Structure 1
Amino acid sequence: MPKAWLGALLFLLALGREAQADTLVRIRSEAWTPADERGYGEFIAAIGQSVCRTVDSCLRNPANPFRASDPQGIRFQSDCADLPYVLRFYYAWKRGLPFSYVSDVSPRMRARDIRYSPQGNVVEAHRDVLTGDDALAVLGRLRDEISSATYRIHPSLDGNDLYSPAIAPAAIRPGTVIYDPNGHLAVIWKIETDGRIRYIDAHPDNSLTRGTYDLRFVRSSPGMGAGFKNWRPSRLAGAVRAPDGALVGGRVLIAANNQIADFALTQYFGTGARAEDRDWKSGVFEWNGQAMDYYDYVRARLGGGRLRFDPLREVAEMVASNCADLGYRADAVAASLATGLQNQPQPERLPPNIYGTEGDWETWSTPSRDARLKTAFRHVRDSVQRFLGLWRARDSRLVYAGSDLVGDMARVHAQAAQACSIVYVRSDGTNVGLGYEEARRRLFRMSFDPYQCVERRWGAVAPELDSCRDGRLKRRWYDAEQSLRNQIDRTYDARMDFSLDGLEAGRG
């Protein structure tokens, strides 16, 4: 009996096992069509538009049209690197579409941590998901085999799951992935008419947050593969159609760069001729004869070719976004406290790198989240200064008809800040409310360390701090970690496994 038909027979036998029936993969389409890609984008957009706050609740949310077909008792989990793959596979599973993924990578040159390899990685292994596979087992393997290292691949290389798209409205869309080479991933769910990009992202504690694309997603040398990524077109070849319509067996083939119409390297090298990798910073971004920085270029291209700034609207929305991030942080700290980690002894050393590690520290600490929050607050200040400069220069890109931009921006900033309130529960059970400005003043006092009391997690001082139950040793750790809290830029390639004595000696 041919192997393909043997596989089809085994698949039909598997269908009879009721316990597996809800979780079996059944591929019915040989390839993703443009309609499938639009459907996937709509699926992502609906999740982004909803108010869900964890990956699990998002996939149980009415925004997910497939939720009723999920087996009872399933719990969806994902961190930032897993999220694009979990969502893509989930949609493929429910729609009967081909899916495969890079299951192993290795560094192009020697690297201490493959997630932050200086020259990026190469694909070592690929895994196809075929009819008859158990979807829950696939989700488990994705969590085990996918990391931010999976995305750290030079855009000129073929064989990986994603490609570098053109910076254009049809190419950057809901479902596009954004990779920050500092180890963070996000998925675009909406492009505003003015070109601003909204995204969703996940975290090790399974929370799901929302944000707006800006310079927190840094550019880097091409080998690190930073930036926008789309899923490569894929098709199932060599499969046999079973009597029930499922495609059994075969292998998944993915398109090469030269087979993809909107493949481009503009985001790495600019709009001119491609430079050598080592000269990537020299790339210039021009649109309609005007040179602009990369982030303005992205916004102009996605905003219909026009770059416009409404300073009052943007200041208000940036403050609201920062408030939302403070709320997400409150959720993360509360989840950490629920584990009781703050009651355990302080470890003798910090992890090898506080931003990129594993275990309890990765799940419950907040150094990366806190650094991005500080960057976001700084971005508000820098944007206000920029808007003032454009106004004084009578720049036509500024959409403002008033006569007192300073006063008007201060007014909308104050209104948005006044609407922001964060509440946390002290160690003695009493509530503390923090407004936006108070949280801003505390940014560099807020502890990222999950072994410290909640009061220190929120940068409290006496008398608010009096309810903290940390002993003298933890107080010393908190004081010694101030140099690390002062960092805005995340340094993933630095050794940070300091002892308390080392930090107090100024090595941090």
Structure 2
Amino acid sequence: MFSKAHVLLILLCSSLSVSSYANSKKPLAWQIKNKTWTKSYEKSYEEFIASIGKAKQAGVCHTTSDCIKSPVANPQFYNLNPDSLMDVFSDCADLPYILRAYFSWMNDLPFTYPVELTQAPLKTAEADALMKQLDDLYIQLDKAGMIKKQVIKRQIKELRKKIYGGSGVDIRYNSGGNKIVSKLYIKNGDNVNKVLVDVANAISTATFRTDAANNTTTKLFRDTYPVAITKAAIKPGTVLYDPNGHIAVVFDVTKNGKVHLIDAHPDNSLTAITYGEKFSQTNVEIGGGFSNWRPFNVETGEVQAATNEELPDYSLEQFERKKPFEFNNVQMSFHEYVRNKLSQGALIYYPVTELNELMEEICHDVKEREMAVNASLAAGIQNQNHPDVLPSNIYGTDGDWESYSSPSRDARLKASIREGRQLMQKIIQGHKDGDKNVQYEGTDLEGELQRTYEASASKCTIDVKKTSGGVQTLTLNTILKNIFKLSFDPYHCVELRWGLTDAESLKSCNQSKEKIEWYNAEQGLRNLIDRDYSVKMDYSLRELPSMPLSKTPEENISIVDVLN
């Protein structure tokens, strides 16, 4: 993390060097002068991402644009930013492509991104034959005249119906993955402002939901490839895809194997998080997990992408689905396996340090949630009438619900708390059993952990500006005790968003009886930790209580009762 002295030093150096760059701002028109993504460019990209991430972690910037336009977060290119560089919107899926596009533009490199995907066909002999016909039609389409193109497009449409069917499945969450239909390649003269907007409009999490084993090297190559779980492979710039609909970018891997990431959200905020069980392991067909950018070049005027065999860190290791994984003959979860593999030397747990870091991360997540809730309140969503039905799935939708609700954010927070509890249980039991990987030199581990928790929880606070006026300060301990009461629903008042359901808070909330009924009916959804995008959720208020959801909060999620 940046120290204050480090931040001041960067600002000073930046201010001293502004004059030397004053007449050399980067033109908005893209120029592809360097036609190959070399190892030196990849190393520079790592440094760019590491700086952005550490600045975000230190609170220097709060959106992707903020970071790109910050001399602290972006010392490599800040002085080259033209005054006319627009602010860019970025949600989680856009983030890797936006950062890669910006870096490519700054370094006069080629850049490409998918603009059309479709649900991958079933892997049958009949589907294979139809796919060959479809590929042939796309080749003909490129060469056809205007009238012929219309005929071929109709043929393509009919053929795709036969291959993919008309299920209407949201391709962001389908079970079979997707296929890239077309990609766009940046040309000399393209305006970077337009490119960044077009990228944000084109990319979704569906873009990453493609077969990780794909070895296509033609124009339709997969932009990223899966990597081995090694310190050399997982580095700043590595993309992490959670098949439950979230993307993050690695910016640091610590000596004790913790993976730090940045991720973006529909409200345009940027957050700093760590890898853990909130990210799911997947099968290879939907391509989740850690991946790096596939290098390519346009030296000959044709696209030439590296094959899987040419990539030293290419691996399908993370798709082996071992249950459990093993490291040094010790069985563990996949997330523990990743941390052990990435640790420099044996992974040593220092209990108080682990708890302090855990509480800092949870506090950070709560502070980020506060910003998201405040953005929703500022937009006045809580004053609007509640929709008659919920979205088809609360975790993946669009519109105001996508921009201002927080079910996915809240689920990740609860998953982090559950994972933290499990880690503390493991450490405490390991200390009792004399585990050499748990190092504690004191005489009262549980007592010291309890005091550490109380100190951390009391100093982490948020101020809730109540609907009727006045401010109520909540400590982290209060928030964690109410974790299953926190409303994800943007149509609820601030009191309900923070789980304040006492008589005084409900009086301050002053919302309609119907909205209170919605809050009560959504308790089953609040009790969930693990997100499921396949569950139908578009129920009315009357139907919602009968949904087959968790009726009681998951037991043993609390961190503090492990320490008692």
Q: What TM-score does the superposition give when structure 2 sets the normalisation length?
A: 0.80
Contact kept, 8 Å, 1:98 with 1:252, in 2: the verdict is no
Most deviating of 193-202 and 290-299? 290-299
1:75 correspondence with 2:80: no
* 1:494 aligned partner: 535
1:48 correspondence with 2:45: no
1:200 correspondence with 2:262: yes
* 1:103 aligned partner: 115
- How many Å apart are 1:221 and its aligned residue? 1.9
Deviations 1:40-90, CA, capped at 9 Å, x for gaps: 111111111112122221122122132342333611210001000000111
* 2:244 aligned partner: 182
- How many Å apart are 1:251 and its aligned residue? 4.3
| Matched residue type, 1:298 | V
* Matched residue SS, 1:201: strand
Contact kept, 8 Å, 1:77 with 1:206, in 2: the verdict is yes
| Matched residue type, 1:413 | Y
* Matched residue SS, 2:114: strand
Deviations 1:385-431, CA, capped at 9 Å, x for gaps: 11112112211111222222211211211221122011121112321
| 1:465 equivalent among 494, 500, 506 | 506
- How many Å apart are 1:122 and its aligned residue? 1.8
Contact kept, 8 Å, 2:227 with 2:292, in 1: the verdict is yes
| 1:265 equivalent among 299, 304, 316 | 316
1:256 correspondence with 2:261: no
Change (3 A) 1:21 1:405: closer
Deviations 1:187-232, CA, capped at 9 Å, x for gaps: 0111101111111100000000111111111112222211101000
1:215 correspondence with 2:215: no
Contact kept, 8 Å, 1:128 with 1:251, in 2: the verdict is no
1:237 correspondence with 2:299: yes
Gaps of 5+ in 2: 1-24, 122-163, 216-220, 550-564
* 1:363 aligned partner: 403
* 1:13 aligned partner: none
Q: What TM-score does the superposition give when structure 1 sets the normalisation length?
A: 0.88
In 2, the alpha carbon distance for the partners of 1:61 and 1:267 equals: 36
- How many Å apart are 1:164 and its aligned residue? 0.6
In 2, the alpha carbon distance for the partners of 1:488 and 1:332 equals: 19
Contact kept, 8 Å, 1:356 with 1:492, in 2: the verdict is yes
Contact kept, 8 Å, 1:119 with 1:223, in 2: the verdict is yes
Change (3 A) 1:448 1:35: same
| 2:208 equivalent among 151, 165, 183 | 151
| Matched residue type, 1:195 | G
* 1:25 aligned partner: 30
Contact kept, 8 Å, 1:59 with 1:76, in 2: the verdict is no
| Matched residue type, 2:82 | D
In 2, the alpha carbon distance for the partners of 1:257 and 1:435 equals: 50
Contact kept, 8 Å, 1:128 with 1:252, in 2: the verdict is no
* 1:89 aligned partner: 101
Most deviating of 224-233 and 255-264? 255-264
| Matched residue type, 2:500 | A
Change (3 A) 1:473 1:251: farther
* 1:242 aligned partner: none
* Structural RMSD (CA): 1.8
Aligned-pair identity (%)? 42
Change (3 A) 1:385 1:287: closer
| Matched residue type, 2:514 | L
In 2, the alpha carbon distance for the partners of 1:320 and 1:344 equals: 35
1:122 correspondence with 2:179: yes
Deviations 1:339-358, CA, capped at 9 Å, x for gaps: 11111111111111100001
In 1, the alpha carbon distance for the partners of 2:409 and 2:298 equals: 39
Contact kept, 8 Å, 2:36 with 2:299, in 1: the verdict is no
* Matched residue SS, 1:186: strand
Most deviating of 406-415 and 77-86? 406-415
* 2:480 aligned partner: 440
In 2, the alpha carbon distance for the partners of 1:495 and 1:113 equals: 12
In 2, the alpha carbon distance for the partners of 1:331 and 1:184 equals: 19
* Matched residue SS, 1:223: helix
1:64 correspondence with 2:74: yes
In 2, the alpha carbon distance for the partners of 1:477 and 1:287 equals: 47
In 2, the alpha carbon distance for the partners of 1:42 and 1:265 equals: 26
Most deviating of 108-117 and 133-142? 108-117
* 1:419 aligned partner: 459
1:308 correspondence with 2:365: no
Q: Which runs of 4+ in 1 moved over 3 A?
A: 70-73, 284-293, 504-508
Contact kept, 8 Å, 1:342 with 1:450, in 2: the verdict is yes
Contact kept, 8 Å, 1:353 with 1:496, in 2: the verdict is yes
